[in-house]
Every structure is written in C-alpha cells, then in structure tokens.
Structure 1
Amino acid sequence: MRQSRRSIERDTSPERDASIEHGERGSASLEFLTVGMLLLVPIVYLVLALASVQGGALAVEGAARQAARIAVQTGDRSSAEAAVDRAVRVTLADYGVDAEAASVVIDCLSARCDAPGTSVRVTVEAQVRLPLVPDVLELGLVGSVPVEASATQTISRFARGGS
C-alpha cells in the first residue's frame, strides 16, 4: 500500500500541474486533427481517382466485348459499323465515360470480314477524367487517363456466308 500512495503523490505534484498550465493541455487532440486531415484528404482523393479509372477500364472492356459480339452477328460491314458504334456509345454512357471522345477500331484477321470462321477484333479507347480536375486552362486533357480494351470474336461457321 505504501508504494501505491507514493505513486499517487508523484502524479499530483505541483510541478506536473504547472507544466499542464503552460500550454501542454489539449495539444495532442489538435495535433491528431491536423495530421489526420493532412493524411486523410490525399487518401480519399486517391480512392476516388482509382475508382474512376477502374470504372473507365470496366466501361471500355464491356464496350469492346459487346461491340465484338455485335460485329460478328451483323451481316454486312456498313450495318456492323453503325451497330458497333451505337453499342459502344450506350455502354460508355452507362459508366459515365465521354462516348464522343472514344475511338473504335474494327479489325478482321482475314481478307473477308463476313466469312464463317473469321476472327473480328474490336478495340475501344477512351479518356477517363480524374475527379475534381477543373476545365480551366485545358486541365481536363492533363487530368485524364487513357484506357483501352480489345475483344475478339469468331464468326460462327454456321452463320450464313457473305456475298
């Protein structure tokens, strides 16, 4: 019991009370808030930016996959390009990616694109804007990340042959 009384007496010494009165009271919470905010803001922005880029990557991947399926199922080249363009625009708009700035390339791996057994590859490229980047001084071009995806489909051998 004597040891515990001595420790209590040491904790309540007048020197300790004087040091608290001279500016040490409450500084830990202020330091915690300051450092916490300085670390929290960049981490939150990093999470938002990564989510935006991931959403854009999913958008172009889905658009390329759907466009390749449509390109294989349509009969002639001109109607395939129109249907592919429409599918890409709808898919990118669903994810909030600017479909007007996207580019679509359709490649055939043989001479005839409508022959059964031909592989058709569709490549979709888009720019994903990072969050909170203003449009002032064309910062939208600097504050964007290019994403690209491609998908390949083969025309069924049971499809009707081209003319």
Structure 2
Amino acid sequence: MPRSRRWTELAADEGSVSIEFLTVGMLLTIPLVYLVLAMAQLQAATLATEGAARQAARMVATADSHGEGLAAADAAIAVALADLGLEPTAVDVACGPTPSDCTTRGGTVQVAVEVTVPLPLVPPVLDLDVGLSVPITAQAAQPVSELRP
C-alpha cells in the first residue's frame, strides 16, 4: 500500500520540533527565573523586616529608660536590615497606656517598620519611581513586664 501524500508532507518537517521546543522553552524560562529571583528577594526582605520589628519591640520593652530603648531599637533595626542593604523608610514606635514612656509597667510596646524593596535586575538608569519597588511593613508588639525594677 503506497503512502499517502499527507504522510510525505509531514515527514518533510523533521527537526523543527526541537527548535520550537527550545524557543518556547526559553521564552517561558526567562520570566520564570525572574519571578523566582523577585520572590526570593521579597521573602528575604519580609523576614528581615519582621525580625527588625520584633527585636526593636523587645529592646524598648526591656530597656531601663525610654531614651535608651529607642536608641537600642534603632540599632536593632539597622543591624537586622543591614544584611540586605536596606534602609527603613518609616519606623513607628507606639507605647501604651502611657504614650510618652515605653517603660511603664504592664504597658505594651508596638513597633511598625516599613521598608521599600527594589525589584531585582532593574537598572537605576531609568530614573522611574513608579512600580520598581515594593513596600513591606511589619508590626510587632511586646508587653512590658510588671515585675521590672
């Protein structure tokens, strides 16, 4: 039985599947790799920001005075974010029930830290401020011991 004409036309396309697979594969792989890099950078910044807020709240709650607590909190935030090369864009320390003194027995210290994370592989030459960074905010609360001296 002779081969049909249709079979002969299909046999002439040998080798084009591998080229198509490589082209489509590369077109899909490059955005996927960028997504993984961006998500890894955002996750690292989120963990660092949460750690900075938590440690700052602990420092303020265990400090001997309000001023020493705020200085220790600033140092804790700087150390926690230094590994990623980030600077806090906003830090808010709130104390309760007395807002003026964070060392009040039985009170609560609340710290909020906001960081702006730049997206990876975006050149600074563009000078665009819209959509090239992601703000990340973390909050932590720490009770002040009622048994403190």
Structure-1-length-normalised TM-score = 0.81
Gaps of 5+ in 2: none
Please report how far the alpha carbon of residue 74 of structure 1 lies from its aligned counterpart in structure 2 after TM superposition.
0.8
Aligned residues: 147
Q: Deviations over 1:20-62 (max 9, x none)?
A: 4x4x121000000011011111111111111111111111100
- Given the alignment of the two structures, is residue 127 of structure 1 paired with residue 116 of structure 2, yes or no? yes
Match of residue 3 from structure 1? none
Which residue does 1:62 correspond to in 2? 51
Within the candidate set 90, 109, 116, 2:79 is matched to: 90
Q: How far did 1:16 drift? A: 5.2
Within 5 Å, give how 1:6-85 maps onto structure 2.
Answer: 20=11, 22=12, 24-85=13-74
CA distance in 2, matches of 1:36, 1:53: 26
Q: C-alpha separation between the residues in 2 aligned to 1:150 and 1:97? A: 20
Compute the displacement of 1:72 (Å). Answer: 0.5
Counting only pairs closer than 5 Å after superposition, residues 103-142 of structure 1 correspond to structure 2 as 103-111=90-98, 112-139=101-128, 142=131
Which of 140, 143, 148 aligns to 1:151? It is: 140
3-state secondary structure, aligned to 2:148: coil
The structure having more radius of gyration, on CA atoms, is 1
- 2:86 alignment partner AA: D
User: Which one has the bigger helix percentage?
Assistant: 1
Q: Which amino acid aligns with 1:72?
A: A
- Separation in 1 of the partners of 2:96 and 2:127? 39
Q: Percent identity of the aligned residues?
A: 45
Give the drift of 1:103: 2.2
